[in-house]
Amino acid sequence: MRSSWKIAAIGLVTATAMALSACGGSTQPSSGHDTAVTGDSLTVWAWDPTFNVYAMKEAGKVYQKDHPNFTLNVVEVPWEDVQTKLATYAQSGQLDELPDIFLMQNNAFQKNATNYPQLFTALTDAGVDYTQYSPSVVNYSTVDGVHYGVPFDNGAAIAAYRTDVLKEAGYTLQDFTDITWSDFMTKATDVLAKTGKPMLSGLSKSVDLIMMMVISAGGSLFTEDGKPVLVDNEILGKAVAQYQQMVKAGVFLEVNGWDQYVNGFVNDGVLGVINGCWILGSVQTATNQEGDWGLTNLPKLDGVSSATNYSTNGGSSWAISSKANFGLAADFLKATFAGSTELYDTILPSSGALANWIPAGKSSVYEKPQSFFGGQPIYSTIVDFSTKVPKFTPGAYLYEAIDALSVAVTKTLSGGDAKAALQEAQDAVEFAQQ
C-alpha cells in the first residue's frame, strides 16, 4: 500500500464487503501456535506488482538463502478483491481458501480483525520484536493488546518544498521546519503574494491533510473503546478550522483528480506537497527539478499541548491467516520484513518501498544522500520521522468516519455550520456501528 488517497472508493468497497458477512466479533482469533518450522511452501496475497508483490518476492529470495527448499507462491490480488474474498470466506466458512499470508491496509486492519476474527492468527508466538517499530504503526494491527500484523511499508508524512522558488521569495527550507500551522500560514501567504503560487494542493472532498493534522497531535476520531467522537473534539475542530483557513486564503489549492494533483507539483503550479512519504515517487518524476526540492517535517497545530511535527498517511501490514502453516509463516516474516536489512536495502532503490522496521534506517543505502533533494539523506530521515509519530487509535470504523468527515468538511467549506455538519457525521458513524 503506497497511499490512502482513494479513501472514499475503498470505503465503499469495504462497506459492500462487510455487508456480505453476518459474522460477529464474539469469536476470538487464534491466540498463537507452536513456532516450529514445518513444511517448505507459503502462499501470499498482495497487490501492486511493482511494489508489494515485488517486495514479497524479494523476501522469498532472502529467506531461500538459509532455507534452500523453501518456495513462495505470490498471488497478485487487488486490494478490493482481498477485502471481498475475506468477507466471503468468513461468511461461508471456506477458510481453506485463504492463503498463508495476506497484505492488509493499515486503515482497514482493525475492522477486519474485529469482524472476521476467524480469519486471523495472533502473532503472540511469532517472535517479532515490536519495539523495533514505531508504536503508532503497530497500533493499527493491534486488537485488545494482541498483535495480528507485521508492519511493512512506511506511511510517515513528509513536507517537501521547492527550495529554489522559496529562495526567490526570501525563504529557506529551515524556515518551514519545526513550525506551527500559524507560522506556515504567515509564510505561505507571503510566498503566494510574491510568486502567485500556492504552497500546497490536495484532492477536493479528501480529508487526508486534516487526518494528518489530527494524528500529529495525538488525536483520533474514536475513543479507546471505539466510540466515534467527531463533535466536541478539540483537536479535530482545530484541524478542520486550519484547513478551511488555508483553502480560503488560497495557499492550499483543492483539485478534482489525482492527475491534476500530481501535475500541480511536478509542473510548477504548486510549490510543495504534504502527504505520506510514498508521494515522493511522484515528486521525483519531475526530473528537470533535480536538486530543487527539500524535505522536512509537518507544521504542528497551535494551542495543542500534545501537538508534534510528525504524522502518517497510508501504509500496510502482513497478516498470517488462521489456516496458515504458522511456524513457517512466522519464521519467514520474522527473518525478512521484521529482520532483514538486506531485504529493505534491495527493494528501496527499485520500488521506493520504505521500511517501518527501524533498524533498516541505519543502513548505508538509507543514509545515502539523494541529489534530487539537494543531497539530503531523505530515507533515513523519514524512518526517523516515523518513530516520532504519536500513537493513533484507528477504530474499527475508521473508513466510515473518514467518509462522513469528508462530507462534513465539504458542507462547512460551502458555508454550512461546522458543529451541525460534524454532528451529522458522528450520527452516520454511530448508525454504521449498529
pLDDT in tens, the chain (434 residues): 444 433 333 333 333 333 333 333 334 454 445 445 557 999 999 999 999 999 999 999 999 999 999 999 999 999 999 999 999 999 999 999 999 999 999 999 999 999 999 999 999 999 999 999 999 999 999 999 999 999 999 999 999 999 999 999 999 999 999 999 999 999 999 999 999 999 999 999 999 999 999 999 999 999 998 999 999 999 999 999 999 999 999 999 999 999 999 999 999 999 999 999 999 999 999 999 999 999 999 999 999 999 999 999 989 999 999 999 999 999 999 999 999 999 999 999 988 899 999 999 999 999 999 999 999 999 999 999 999 999 999 999 999 999 999 999 999 999 989 899 999 999 999 999 88
- Supply the pLDDT for residue 18: 33
Rounded to whole angstroms, the Cα distance separating 252 from 197 reads 10
- Angle (CA) 187-205-355 rounded to 5° is 70
Q: Which three cell numbers stand for residue 9?
A: 472508493
Residue 223 CB coordination number (10 Å): 11
Q: Which three cell numbers stand for residue 343?
A: 531485504
Instruction: Write out the DSSP string of 368-425.
Output: S-BGGGTTB-HHHHHHHHHTTSPP----TTHHHHHHHHHHHHHHHHTT--HHHHHHHH
- Looking up cell 493513533, which residue turns up? 392
Rounded to whole angstroms, the Cα distance separating 176 from 181 reads 10
Sheet with 293-296: strands ordered across: 272-276, 157-162, 293-296
Helix H or strand E encompassing 274: strand 272-276
Q: Which three cell numbers stand for residue 135?
A: 508504536
- Looking up cell 490480488, which residue turns up? 77
- Supply the pLDDT for residue 314: 87
Integer angstrom CA distances of residue 41 from 31, 54, 74, 259, 324:
23, 18, 11, 41, 10
Report the C-alpha dihedral over residues 411, 417, 420, 422, rounded to 10 degrees. Answer: 50
- Supply the pLDDT for residue 284: 93
What is the value of pTM for the model shown?
0.87
- Supply the pLDDT for residue 350: 86
- Supply the pLDDT for residue 323: 95
Amino acid, res. 53: V
Integer angstrom CA distances of residue 277 from 123, 153, 328, 385, 427:
27, 10, 32, 10, 33
Structural domains in the chain?
7-154+313-365 (3.40.190.10), 157-311+393-433 (3.40.190.10)
Rounded to whole angstroms, the Cα distance separating 94 from 202 reads 41
Rounded to whole angstroms, the Cα distance separating 298 from 316 reads 22
- Supply the pLDDT for residue 33: 52
